[in-house]
Amino acid sequence: MIAYLRGTLLERAADSVIVDVNGVGYRARVPASTLERLGDVGTPIALHIHTHVREDDLALFGFATADELDLFEMLLSVSGIGPKVALGILSSAAPNEIRSAIAQGNLEILSSIRGIGKKTAQRLVLELKGKVELEEEITELSPLDGEVAATLINLGYSAAEAQRAARGAPGKTLEDKLRAALQSLGG
């Protein structure tokens, strides 16, 4: 099994990279967060790799950090979550934001992720709630903050951005908090 690649970035695509390791090119699918961290074509890179083997396919999934790889593999343990959906989840928010949503049982945030419906979000919470570990203290969203976050997600903001903006927005009504959150996001 391939677990780690270090080489030169040969090509970049929307959701994958090709890493040249001593003359051999390895294609690895990567989340958006990893793609953002990688330099330009020709720069040295290192990826933590998950090798996914099926009877008709061998695919590599690469991550900038071991933390992203651990969360990816944890997501794969949930029934109904395959590597493409898990990669999409990791592309939608930072690992700790995803863990936070799972630990809080925040179905609105989880079901707003592309490819995740309400039932899959419930399954994620049910199967992973006791397994997630957070780097920092969780502060649960109030019902009003949850509504603000859900509205921001519907407007196209990521789950992580929406949660941060909702938590930090002053106001006592949905309209006031939403207006403040949008101003903090530059919208």
Q: Is the dihedral of CA 75, 77, 81, 83 positive or negative?
A: positive
Q: Which of 81, 70, 64 has the alpha carbon at shortest distance from 119?
A: 81
**What is the model's pLDDT at position 1?**
79
pTM of the model: 0.69
94 vs 91: which has the higher pLDDT: 91
Q: Are 5 and 25 in contact (CB under 8 A)?
A: no
Q: What does the DSSP assignment read for 23-62?
A: TEEEEEE--HHHHHHS-STTSEEEEEEEEEEETTEEEEEE
Of the candidates 14, 46, 63, which is a domain's last residue?
A: 63
**What is the model's pLDDT at position 42?**
92
At 71, which CATH number? Answer: 1.10.150.20
Q: Is 147 part of a structural domain of the chain?
A: yes
Range of the domain at 8: 4-63
Interval 149-177 mean pLDDT: 82
Q: Is 44 part of a structural domain of the chain?
A: yes
**What is the model's pLDDT at position 138?**
42
Q: Are 72 and 60 in contact (CB under 8 A)?
A: no
Calculate the CA 82 to chain-centre distance.
Answer: 14
**What is the model's pLDDT at position 117?**
87
Overall number of domains in the chain: 3
State whether 54 and 106 are in the same domain: no
Q: Is 167 part of a structural domain of the chain?
A: yes
For residue 37, give the amino acid letter.
Answer: R
Of the candidates 95, 128, 161, which is a domain's last residue?
A: 128
Q: Is 82 part of a structural domain of the chain?
A: yes
- Model confidence over 127-145: pLDDT tens digits? 887 777 554 444 567 788 8
Q: What does the buried/exposed string (b/e) look like for 165-178 if buried means 16 or more CB atoms within 10 Å of the residue's CB? A: bbeebeeeeeeebb
pLDDT of 6 > 70? The answer is yes
- Of 45-49, 88-92, 123-127, give the range with the top mean pLDDT: 45-49
State whether 97 and 113 are in the same domain: yes
69-78, 99-108, 172-181: segment of lowest average pLDDT: 99-108
Interval 159-180 mean pLDDT: 85
At 50, which CATH number? Answer: 2.40.50.140
166 vs 48: which has the higher pLDDT: 48
